[in-house]
Amino acid sequence: MAKKTQKRIDGTFDEPPAPVRKAADNYVEAVRQKADWLTTMNERKEVLIEMMKEHDIAEIEIDEGEKKIVLSEQNTVKIKSVKQDKKADDQAV
């Protein structure tokens, strides 16, 4: 059975208060910006994957060695934390 929907009748829709309309407009703008950023991020990720494969690189350190980008066998990349050596931590104290 098809889902019943209510039809909108012109002239029966009340415009929301100005602060609500502004908040809704701001939200929609943010959602659209996020979509644009996700597109850019995905494009850059694909370039990174291709470059890592081309140069036979499996890992790249980032954030001054605190983290690394790892290329997986499924041709995806993940950011992982680098585990610190316990002996180095004990000597630092």
* pLDDT tens digits along 60-74: 999 988 999 999 888
Whole-prediction pTM: 0.62
What is the structure's pLDDT at 86?
62
Separation of alpha carbons 91 and 89, rounded Å: 6
Q: How confident is the model at residue 5 (pLDDT cuts 50, 70, 90)?
A: confident
What is the structure's pLDDT at 65?
87
* Domain range summary for the chain, segments of one domain joined by +: 17-56, 58-93
Q: How much of the chain, in percent, has pLDDT values that exceed 70? A: 87
